[in-house]
Amino acid sequence: MAHGGGPRQVKLDRESELRIEVGYDAPLKLRLLSGTAEIFGTELPPDFWLTFPPRLKFAVFTWNGATIEMEGSTETEYTADETPNISYVNVHAVLEERRHRAKPLPPDDLNSQGPRVIVVGPTDSGKSTLSKMLLSWAAKKGWKPTFVDLDIGQGAITIPGCIAATPIEMPIDPVEGIPLDIPLVYFYGHTTPSNNVDLYKVLVKELAQVVERQLSGNAESRASGMVINTMGWIEGQGYELLLHAIDTFNANVVLVLGQEKLWSMIRNVLKKKPGVDVVKLQKSGGVVSRNAKIRKKSRSHRIRAPRSALPIGAEPAADPTRLAPVNINRDLLHTVLAVSFAKEPDQIISSNVAGFVFVTDVDIQRKTITYLAPSAGELPSKYLIAGTVTWLET
């Protein structure tokens, strides 16, 4: 149920959670008054006001009981005492054991590999929530797991239309989200892989190879392992792309959320692969199925949010990975372009991106565009990549 804006306290019993969707027009302030609680696996500091932006959905969970104070309106706000977090923390304990087993090996032993966890399931099953929990719990224990986000529909690290990876060195900030200091980002340019499946697979492979190189040079990161978030498209080609991701990243733990059939299919395929565990879990508590319109709004919000970061991609033609020059025309208005790190055109597919610019105006006569960039000064490259990602103020 919704709640008005006045200050109020909520007492939570042990192993329960307060599920919240912030109101559409104003932020929500929240603080922990007593006990202990966490959001997406990150502990709340005592007596410190956090401000959550409009429309954000999150849950405050407590293991041992807590009192929360809030100020501001919510669209949804209720307490639940049945959550899957116990099973999630049990998964974390198993992963923790595997990290410890990987750690004592000599630094030059490339077998010192921690868990490579891939989280799969349909749209709105809580994949990114579980990913954040597992990453935050690992970081709290001193590990530095790598977060890989293959979900081009929403984009947990940067904007939609990208795949990305970044090391997680601290529990994830419940308001700011994934840190954007050093993400490795590739721009696919569309919010569904069906636009160009072959290009999507090529970029997933590029990202995997770079992550692999980074891990091979760092025993601590290797033992910490990775958590891979995937798309909600699990039928037909989407299913094939899941198997491709599992194979490309050499995942050894597959967590299937809220989908018996998908769990059974993946388990049957992977039983020929020794050393891969396929685990069925309940979908994340408080996950609300979003219709296409709400997902589109959320996508638009994700485009507005990043303060830094940038990606790579290409226009599909007869050859799915062939580059095609883009004409300066009105179609570019309101598009998001990626700034490639490529020095030459033939490096664009294999290059990650430095960041994004947003086209605010197009002058057809002069063949120029006006863009908005996150920082002043020259762009790091003259190659900009266009896809179908647009952003209109809502």
What is the full per-residue pLDDT of the chain (394 aa) written as tens digits?
A: 667 767 999 999 999 999 999 999 999 999 999 999 999 999 999 999 999 999 999 999 999 999 999 999 999 999 999 899 999 999 999 999 999 998 865 655 556 789 999 999 998 888 999 999 999 999 999 999 999 999 998 888 888 999 999 999 999 999 888 887 778 999 999 998 888 999 999 999 999 999 999 998 888 999 999 999 999 889 999 999 999 999 999 999 999 998 899 999 999 999 888 889 999 999 876 555 555 555 555 545 444 453 333 333 333 344 777 788 888 888 888 889 999 999 988 899 889 998 898 899 999 988 888 988 887 788 888 899 998 888 775 4
Q: Give domain status of residue 333, yes or no.
A: yes
Same domain, 102 and 67: no
CATH number (domain holding residue 354): 2.40.30.330
Verify that 329 and 194 share a domain, yes or no: no
Q: Please state whether the predicted TM-score (pTM) of the whole model is above 0.75.
A: yes
**How many folded domains does the chain comprise?**
3
Q: Which two tokens stand for residue 366?
A: 């002069």
Same domain, 211 and 228: yes
Helix axes 197-216, 237-248, angle to 10 degrees: 20
CA–CA separation, 199 and 161 (whole Å): 12
Same domain? For 92 and 215 the reply is yes
- Where helices occur in 62-103 by DSSP H, the ranges are 85-102
Side-by-side strand order, sheet with 16-22? 42-43, 38-39, 57-62, 16-22, 74-80
Buried b (16+ CB within 10 A) or exposed e, 68-82: bbbebbbbebeeeee
Q: Give dist(CA 269, CA 254) in Å, integer.
A: 12
Q: Identify the domain containing residue 13 by its residue range.
A: 8-80
**H or E element at residue 17:** strand 16-22
Distance, in Å, from the CA atom of 241 to the CA atom of 234, rounded to the nearest integer, reads 8
Contacts of 282 (CB under 8 A, 6+ apart): 84, 87, 257, 258
Q: Of 80, 110, 139, which residue constitutes the final position of a domain?
A: 80
* 254, 246 contact by CB (below 8 A): yes
Q: Is the Cβ–Cβ distance between 50 and 5 less than 8 Å?
A: no
Task: Please tell me the distance from the alpha carbon of residue 189 to that of residue 340, in angstroms, as a whole number.
Answer: 12
Query: Are 317 and 268 members of one domain?
Result: no
Domain boundary among 215, 247, 281: 281
